[in-house]
Structure 1
Amino acid sequence: MDSSYLNEYAHSADSNALFNGAPLTGQQKELIAKVDEYGVKWAERAFKHDLEASFPTENYNDLKNMGFLALCVPKRLGGLGADYRTYALVATRISYYCASTANTFNMHNANSLWTADMVDALELTSEQRESHEHNRTIHYNNMLEGKIYSQPFSEGSGAAAGKHPFGTITTRSGDGWIINGKKIFASLSGSADYYGVLCTEDIPGATLADTMFMAIPADAPGVSVVGDWDPMGMRGTVSRTLIFKDVFVPDTAQLMPRGVYIKAASKYPHMFMTLTPTYMGLAQAAYDFAVAYLRGEVAGVNVKRRMYPTKQYSIAEMYIKLQQAWALFHRATSEFKRSPSREERMRAYACQYTVMEYCAEICSAAVRVCGGQAMLKTFPLERMYRDSRCGALMLPWTSEICIDRLGRGLLYKEGERDD
């Protein structure tokens, strides 16, 4: 067999093997330890919020007191200055205790994480830089004061997946903008103080390049929350439908200058991976519960089941998947940068897919290995099981989208097409 193709492909083995995992920094250790101070209370409250499908307001009061609502606000502007990887690590620990809190915490932090260093590293005009600095300072100050920001994406179309422009429209009006449209599965609806909305500028022939990122006050005239919220999982996110009817916002509502969002999205694909930590933390929580349960260390469980070979085998399988997911998670989050390589982009999709799917598989295996009693609502496992299945559905990178992009990206080089 002619094996000359290996001359080109051998580098692929190098890119997968040569990696030094980034150790935790002092700041990361400190922030994670802070979460641990509050986490058990969040885990206990999670039962109530799941049962009622109610928002974890008490947890957000804790996050405010911790200073975490400004987690990703730059230090020079008064925040904690967490970078991408630091946010990801902190979010996994929050999810370890309450997945719905971590899920919505992602929505809040994206409004500062996306608008800080990512935008600063882009090619902007001096006018854009000046206006952006002015606008984001206003919104960062809101976060420092404890205001909660959401980031509704979905519209029931392919817009959130980048297939076509958003259907929510913003029209220039005097010294501001008028917004009309709808967002579905809008997490924090009714609880956020501001909604960071992606919408399309109302101009002829608008494309994705005309996407605007606007912060809409929840109490602005024309904003309404409609519909029920009774889903299978992630019930504490309270992701009802938002309606915008002739909502006026000033120029300072712009979270990014005109035309900059699509540049950031193309240069920083990892920005769409910020939900992954939620499911990484949830997978760890399900595994740890299963181990504690089988060891008879969970309150209300007085029988040890660890001596059975079938239990040991199942736990071993869960552990292997968990470690595979963690390894890919650590690598992908450490590779966040502007204009990542093709291999790094493919690895980000692989990470998102692996974590979302393995989380569901680990939770399912935990149900099987723990048995019937563990499925009672007095234990957290049945909630974890339901929450875990939601990860694969999360836009903009659902599991199906990741597979689609991986398949094409691995078989086609940049710009390559079939005749």
Structure 2
Amino acid sequence: MDSSYLAEYAHSADSNAHFHGLPLTDEQKHLIAKVDEYGVTWAERAFKHDREASFPTENYEDLKAMGFLGLCVPKRLGGLGADYRTYTLVASRIAYYCGNTANTFNMHNANALWTADMIDAMDLTDAERESHEHNRAIHYGNMINGSIYSQPFSEGSGAAAGKHPFGTTATRSDSGWVLNGKKIFASLSGHANYYGVLCTEDVPNATLADTLFIAIPADAPGVSVVGDWDPLGMRGTVSRTLIFKDVHVPDTAQLMPRGIYIKAASQYPHMFMTLTPTYMGVAQAAFDFSVAYLRGDVAGVNVKRRMYPTKQHAIAEMYIKLQQAWALFHRVTSEFKRRPSREERSRAYACQYTVMEYCAEICAMAVRVCGGQAMLKTFPLERLYRDSRCGALMLPWTAEICIDRLGYGLLYKEGERDDD
């Protein structure tokens, strides 16, 4: 499909890229503009990757050329130094053009975002700080030189939701660690150069406190990718199953010091909503397509439908939901900090839920308002609709988990029980 209309309509996303009191910085504007240089091409490639359920390798070559594989690597270590809010803005713009690229790019960037300023602010021993600085310099160097990092979470259990330890284990050896286990829905499987794996140290009576965060080379002996990938949506993520069988890695594979991950997870809850920008961008893309389609601005659409009151009312309803989602998104992504308040944590759950659910609702409304022709695979809408349905299912904060935690947190004070 000719996606050139996006070059004009991207300004709609621009107008939503800030909120009152916190405009875009010059750096954020520059990074978003870099995405716009490639975005239309990514949008046109998206049809092929969705049809074939193939990974957007060409887009990652573009990201490498842009220097974006080091987007969240600190500047002092050679990266672009994007902070949390800057990452979310850039990711939402990438998703505006290709949700699959943004979804998988999240997995790559989390490996840097989680291990940079967040860890620097935590209470580490001198030895832990020294080893972490040494290890992350290696991995950041890999990213800057073009290596793609994934971050497989799910195991088909409650581990990714924080209910119990991960089933994938890491056993101490003389030269490092030996990993065994399985990850399902492992995005970028077969296409990442390293897998940033959350696993449990093999110790007696292991708990979540024994979680390790270890980078496994994709070509390490004992690593295999199995199974098919033919899902409803987000087909270009290629999230097949990863198997680890007696995989040996050195101590430098640790992306965080031992025991630090669970502390980071409790002190920085916003680290788990870095997928939210993907669905914010998809929602914006669906809205803008609908406006362009009804105006007759999309190539291949020669009939204007904007004059009908039913169309106008539907677009107005979509716009209201979109603005509600953007408003919450910007407030919450600007509240990222260590040890947020209960209110800030609750807003993070509300934001994740709202964006995921409203994205699906906006896409569904777009299908209805645009009508039958827009559902052809020559247009992006039916793909956006299918992709939008996947957000609410993604761990560690699915829509159900957000509602559970939000409801409990609003009715119970810290440490309070029913017998209090």
Please give the secondary structure, in 1, of the residue aligned with 2:54: coil
Confirm or deny: 8 A CA contact 1:21 1:330 kept in the other structure.
no
1:110-259 alignment runs, 5 A limit = 110-259=110-259
C-alpha RMSD of matched pairs (Å): 0.6
CA distance in 1, matches of 2:276, 2:22: 18
Q: Is the 8 A contact 1:111 1:196 kept in 2?
A: yes
- 1:295-314 alignment, distance < 5 Å: 295-314=295-314
Query: 1:337 is aligned with what amino acid?
Result: K
Tell me the equivalent position of 1:10: none
Q: CA deviation at 1:23?
A: 1.2
Work out the CA distance in 2 between the residues paired with 1:306 and 1:236.
33
Structure 1 segment 249-288 matched on structure 2, within 5 A: 249-288=249-288
Does structure 2 retain, via aligned residues, the 8 Å contact 1:167–1:181? Answer: yes
Letter in 1 for 2:414: E
Q: Give, in angstroms, the shift of residue 353 of structure 1.
A: 0.1
**Is contact 1:21-1:331 (8 Å) kept?**
no
Quote the residue 2:357 is aligned against.
357
The aligned counterpart of 1:24 is 24
Q: Does 1:403 align with 2:403?
A: yes
Could you tell me which amino acid in structure 2 is paired with residue 259 of structure 1?
G
How far apart, CA to CA, are the structure 2 residues paired with 1:286 and 1:101? 16
Report if aligned partners of 1:170, 1:177 keep a CA contact under 8 Å in 2: yes
Distance 2:313 2:356 in 1: 23
What is the CA–CA distance in structure 2 between the aligned matches of 1:112 and 1:185, rounded to whole Å?
A: 21
Letter in 1 for 2:126: S
Tell me how far apart the structure 2 counterparts of residues 167 and 277 of structure 1 sit (CA, whole Å): 29
- Residue 20 of structure 1 deviates from its aligned partner by 5.2
> Runs of 4+ in structure 1 displaced over 4 angstroms?
none
Q: Specify the code of the residue in structure 1 equivalent to 2:378.
A: T
Shift of 1:346: 0.1
Q: Which amino acid aligns with 1:242?
A: L
Letter in 1 for 2:151: Q
- CA–CA separation in structure 2 for the residues paired with 1:183 and 1:359: 27
Deviations 1:186-218 (A, max 9, x none): 000000000000000000010000000000000
Superposed CA deviations along residues 282-333 of structure 1, whole A, max 9, x for unmatched, are 0000000000000000000000000000000000000000000000000000
Task: Name the aligned partner's letter for residue 314 of structure 2.
Answer: S
The letter of the residue matching 1:317 is: E
Number of the residue aligned with 1:3: none
AA paired with 2:335? E
Specify the SS of the correspondent of 2:85: helix
Match of 1:416, SS state, is coil
For 1:352 and 1:417, the matched residues in 2 are separated by: 26
Once residues 415 and 333 of structure 2 are traced to their aligned partners in structure 1, the CA distance between those partners, rounded to angstroms, is 26
C-alpha distance in 2 between matches for 1:164 and 1:144: 34
| Number of equivalences | 401
Aligned positions of 1:41-120 closer than 5 A: 41-120=41-120
Mind listing any 5+ residue stretches in structure 1 that lack a counterpart?
1-18
What are the residue-to-residue correspondences of 1:291-330 with 2, within 5 Å?
Answer: 291-330=291-330
Which residue matches 2:13? none
User: What residue number does 2:344 align with?
Assistant: 344
SS at match of 1:335: coil
The one-letter code of the counterpart of 1:134 is: H
Q: Secondary structure of the equivalent of 1:204?
A: coil
Q: Is the 8 A contact 1:276 1:355 kept in 2?
A: yes
Aligned to 1:394: 394
Contact in 2 for aligned 1:194/1:218 (Cα 8 Å): yes
Q: Which amino acid aligns with 2:418?
A: D
| 1:175 Cα deviation after fit | 1.9
Q: Deviations over 1:73-108 (max 9, x none)?
A: 000000000000000000000000000000000000
Render the CA deviation track for 1:161-202: whole Å, top value 9, x for unaligned. 000000000000102000000000000000000000000000
TM-score by length of 1: 0.95
Where 1:256 maps in the other structure, the secondary structure is: coil
| Cα pair 1:168 1:200 within 8 Å, conserved | yes
Partner amino acid, structure 2, of 1:85: R
Q: Tell me what 2:6 maps to.
A: none
For residue 247 of structure 2, give the secondary structure of its aligned residue in structure 1. strand
How far residue 393 of structure 1 moved from its aligned partner, in angstroms, is: 0.2
Give the distance between the partners of 1:302 and 1:88, measured in 2 at CA: 36
Q: State how far apart, in whole Å, the 1-side matches of 2:66 and 2:346 are.
A: 36
- Indicate how the Cα distance of structure 1 residues 100 and 406 shifts in structure 2: closer, same or farther if over 3 A, else same: same
Cα drift, residue 119 of structure 1: 0.3
Output one character per residue of 1:36-93: Cα deviation in whole Å (capped at 9) or x when no partner.
0000000000000000000000000000000000000000000000000000000000
Provide the rounded CA distance (Å) in 2 between the counterparts of 1:270 and 1:381.
30
Offset of 1:22 from its aligned partner? 1.7
SS where residue 185 of structure 1 aligns?
strand
What is the identity, as a one-letter code, of the residue corresponding to 1:263?
Answer: K
Q: 1:35: how far off?
A: 0.1
- Determine the C-alpha separation between the residues in 1 that align with 2:20 and 2:176: 48
TM-score by length of 2: 0.95
Q: Tell me, yes or no, if the aligned pair for 1:153 and 1:160 is still in contact at 8 Å.
A: yes
* Structure-1 residue corresponding to 2:384: 384
Task: Provide the C-alpha distance between the structure 2 equivalents of 1:81 and 1:392, rounded to a whole number of angstroms.
Answer: 29
For 2:122, the aligned partner's letter is L
Name the structure 2 match of 1:11. none
Distance of 1:377 and 1:395 partners within structure 2: 29
Q: Are the aligned partners of 1:69 and 1:109 in contact in 2 as well (CA < 8 Å)?
A: yes
- 1:28 is aligned with what amino acid? Q
Alpha carbons 1:49, 1:236 under 8 Å: kept: yes
Structure 2 Cα separation of the partners of residues 21 and 136 of structure 1: 35
